[in-house]
Amino acid sequence: MALLPILLLPDDRLRAVCAPVTLFDATLKQLADDMLETMYAAPGRGLAGPQVGAMLRIFVMDVGWKEGRPSPLICINPEIKDTLGTVINDEGCLSIPNNPVRISRPALVRMAWQDLAGRHCEGFFDGFAATCAQHERDHLDGILCIDYPNLPQPEDSE
């Protein structure tokens, strides 16, 4: 495995729409393995293909590893099928370091994707996993978290 360089804004590749993955082979598996290694080293919880210059519809995520509950997920050609509710979170991005934004997203998502063998998968994501999946999925269409309205921080109640 290898650490990949993470592209930083204003790299134009971060604004490009990625191509669908059509070849499920050893090269794709190596890319996914390298993306996971890069994400963990960053240290992040998600990483999309364009963030490492791979202009393909692939992202990796692992929302539990920092709490000692690793559960890596590789999503190829992901599609958000349905959403429910709303949640406001502070989001950061490995390609836009030190620039968190407070944005609103759906609280629950139903997503379909393919695995490394090209098999079709579907699942529900809530909590931080829903936010992470949407954030990484956005990258595949050249959408960054800074493109959403940056909501004000809640006022302290004393």
Neighbours of 136 (CB within 10 A): 25
Q: Which of 37, 79, 122, 136 is catalytic?
A: 136
What phi, psi does 13 have (nearest 5°)? -65, -25
Q: Is 136 a catalytic residue?
A: yes
Looking at residue 39, its amino acid is M
Q: What is the DSSP letter of 141?
A: T
**What SS3 state is found at 132?**
helix
Give yes or no for a contact between 55 and 18, defined as CB atoms under 8 angstroms apart.
yes
Query: What residues does 110 pair with on adjacent strands?
Result: 82, 124
Residue among 128, 2, 127 at smallest CA distance from 53: 2
Which residues does the annotation mark as catalytic? 136
